[in-house]
Amino acid sequence: MAQQPAAQRVEALLAAMTLEEKIGQMTLASTGLVITGPGEAGDYLAEIRAGRLGLLGDVHDPRHARDIQQIAMRESRLGVPLIFATDVIHGYRTVFPVPIGEMATFDVDLWRHTARVSAREAAACGISLTFAPMLDVTRDPRWGRIAESPGEDAWLASRYAAAKVHGYQGDDLATPGSLAATAKHFAAYGAVTAGRDYASVDISERTLHEVYLPPFRAAVNAGVSAIMPAFTDIAGVPMSASVELLRGLVRERWGFDGVMISDHGAIAELKAHGIARDDAEAAALALHAGIDVDLMSGTYARGLPVALRSGAVKEAEIDAAVRRILSLKVRLGLFDDPNSSVDAARQSPPDFTANRSLARNVATRSMVLLQDRDGLLPLAGTLRRIAVIGPLADEAEHMLGPWVTAPRPEQPVSLLQGLREGLPDCTLDYARGVPIIADDTAAVTDAVQRANAAELVVLCVGEGRQLSGEAASRARPGLPGQQAELVRRVLDCGRPTVVVLVSGRPLLEPWLFERAGTVLASWFAGCEAGHALCDLLTGRSNPSGRLPVSWPVDVGQVPIHFGQRPGGRPPAPDNPWTSKYLDLPVTPLFHFGHGLSYTRFTLANLHVEPTHSGPGDTIAVTVDVRNEGTRAGEQTLFLFVRDVHATLAQPLLCLRGTAKALLDAGACETVRFELEVATLAYLGRDLEPLLEAGEFTVLVGPSANPDELLTATIELRLAPATR
């Protein structure tokens, strides 16, 4: 067997399999550490011996993995190895910031690098497939899964998709330390109605193609091994049964020949959706759509034999699914040596010290200084007494965020601990004030006293990890419990106060941003959160994180994002008959890309060359960036385009590039973007890319704030009817 070429090996196995063994390959069960939904472990070893399992979730111990694999390969009739699959989302043992935080670094190499490091750590424990990257664009901070998401923009999310797939998978899946990646949740899960998790999605075909599909297309182009359809339906078609999208679009048009893995229990949920009466119908629908693996619902095992007998499915469909699963096992090198990653890691274990220092670096770069009106930051070196207040100030575990699957993650560091280590000469007076969620204000007075006695207050409030992630939608995504009361009372003291927000989403508390001059968004920053916070607050590092989502003023503005279309009555200050609210501004509190640092940058001299171009050309866009402050810093620059006049109304801003300038105090650099004319295409009426001649505006700046953007004009010339 070991010597056979891959395709032959797969066909030989398939020919030898009983129906039960085939369906077994299509079944994923768990060892019991299920954290994301209903399901029981059952006697998985007996199932493996009987050839009734193809993939197993939640195996985290290398010896355990080896033993189980041995049972699969020696004690099952055909000896097919298992895929150990788990959620490695933003780190494994070393926990990095949640994805929305990592996005804020705007650093493609870093995105790839953290995926590579996570893959090595997970593969060292025997894991060979991760349910990541999550590629759901979202514009709704009510949705808890915005924490796992790449933010509001499709172009950016597509860059993230490719980086993560390359990072997890490496050049060759069989190389020790690689994981098969799963692009999820296909598609438009980020558009759930009113931000309520699992709710129905109803968006236009155009929005689907413009906004939600591109990151998945990018993942497929990057060679992603698996795709997970979303729980949700689009206008009545649950993704787990979408023949049109899964089979028609992804498999047939995009040419994806990898494995489709259902979401947790999602095949059974076709009954709750109301489109399947029983397991046999649900199984048939999912199989027709092209789902190969049933994750945790057992519906394939129960329903496919019945569906086959009734003629609702054909054995050839089952064979096609098994073929794809076996091919992935071959590509992962599992038939040749299922323990290669574990053995390689024994020889050369992951360097957890280096990984932690990477985590510190990523965490530092992910945090976004939203405002510092009074210039409190960095903290003055002369401070001797600081009150550290708030329910998240000494919560190390919460810093890890909602997605931690490794049973023994690296020890997280709280803000208080980070400050204690970093400010040994300072008295830190800690008070929790209030619990994260519960309505208990008994300790507020004590916290206020400590605030009054201090030279400065660091006030750390926000969400607990249980308020973020899956099944954690919040109609009012603000400070939970009595935290607002604590913040008000502390601010009433009038001491200089730095607010640190911990969250997996923009927190919407308009009054807080009015009253507190200094606010730092730290997200759930991972195991090094406390050290990173200390680095930033003390000025050992200069903040460089930028918002990957617009930060609304209030929930009433949601969804709000930079890619909106102008409409026929764009907001005009003096004209009431334009698109506005009577009670809120139309702009976000902080624009996409916003983020301050301890220095100040200016932009000048935007040039485009050539100004007249044709398809196939690349336009050089250059801009001078100057560091006007007194310390080194990093500026992220955004390149947007606007199609001024097109057959179909176009968004005000389309992101087409990001770049960084790392500048010493007083230094100036010319930053260059390459803008390919092909990327000026939009989706025409037929949803195919269409390049139209005419004028385009090129806009470059430090955020999507129109007031900060420099503009230039280019003219696109085309031969008639160019596509």
**Residue 36 vs 242, nearer CB to ligand BGC:** 36
Annotate 674-702 with b (16+ C-beta within 10 A) or e (fewer): ebebebbbbeeeeeeebbbeeebbbbbbb
Q: Is 264 in the site for ligand BGC (CB under 6 A)?
A: yes
Within 13 A of 662's CA, how many CA atoms are on the CB side? 3
Shortest distance in whole angstroms from residue 87 CB to ligand BGC: 5
Catalytic residue among 233, 263, 372, 643: 263
Amino acid 604 reads A
Q: How far apart are CA 379 and CA 376, in angstroms?
A: 6
Q: Is 294 in the site for ligand BGC (CB under 6 A)?
A: no
Q: How far apart are CA 260 and CA 711, in angstroms?
A: 44
Q: Is 87 in the site for ligand BGC (CB under 6 A)?
A: yes
Site residues for ligand BGC, 8-47, by CB under 6 A, read: 36-37
Shortest distance in whole angstroms from residue 299 CB to ligand BGC: 15
Q: Is 143 in the site for ligand BGC (CB under 6 A)?
A: no
Q: Are strands 710-716 and 694-701 parallel, antiparallel or unpaired?
A: antiparallel
Q: How far apart are CA 258 and CA 2, in angstroms?
A: 22
**Residue 465 vs 546, nearer CB to ligand BGC:** 465
Annotate 565-579 with b (16+ C-beta within 10 A) or e (fewer): eeeeeeeeeeeeeee
Shortest distance in whole angstroms from residue 406 CB to ligand BGC: 14
**Residue 149 vs 599, nearer CB to ligand BGC:** 149
Shortest distance in whole angstroms from residue 705 CB to ligand BGC: 33
Q: Is 136 in the site for ligand BGC (CB under 6 A)?
A: no
**Residue 264 vs 474, nearer CB to ligand BGC:** 264
**Residue 372 vs 470, nearer CB to ligand BGC:** 470
Cis check: omega of the bond before 610, within 30 degrees of 0: yes
Amino acid 661 reads A
Q: In this chain, which of 263, 281, 554, 692 binds ligand BGC, going by CB under 6 A?
A: 263
Q: Is 269 in the site for ligand BGC (CB under 6 A)?
A: no
Shortest distance in whole angstroms from residue 546 CB to ligand BGC: 26
**Residue 86 vs 417, nearer CB to ligand BGC:** 86
Shortest distance in whole angstroms from residue 296 CB to ligand BGC: 8
Q: How far apart are CA 349 and CA 281, in angstroms?
A: 47
Q: Is 212 in the site for ligand BGC (CB under 6 A)?
A: no
x/- track of binding to ligand BGC for residues 449-488 (CB under 6 A): ---------------------x------------------
Active-site residue flag, 263: yes
Shortest distance in whole angstroms from residue 231 CB to ligand BGC: 6
**Residue 87 vs 153, nearer CB to ligand BGC:** 87
Q: In this chain, which of 184, 217, 329, 420 binds ligand BGC, going by CB under 6 A?
A: 184
Annotate 393-411 with b (16+ C-beta within 10 A) or e (fewer): bbbbebbbbbbbbbeebbe
Question: Tokens 């195919």 map to which residue?
Answer: 688
Q: How far apart are CA 198 and CA 195, in angstroms?
A: 9
Question: Tokens 């600081």 map to which residue?
Answer: 386
Number of H helices, E strands in the chain: 20, 26
Q: How far apart are CA 282 and CA 267, in angstroms?
A: 6
Which strands form 129-130's sheet, in the order they lie side by side?
A: 129-130, 83-86, 55-57, 27-30, 294-295
Amino acid 195 reads G
Q: Is 372 in the site for ligand BGC (CB under 6 A)?
A: no
**Chain positions contacting ligand BGC, by CB under 6 A:** 36-37, 87, 131, 184, 263-264, 470
Among all residues, which ones are annotated catalytic? 263
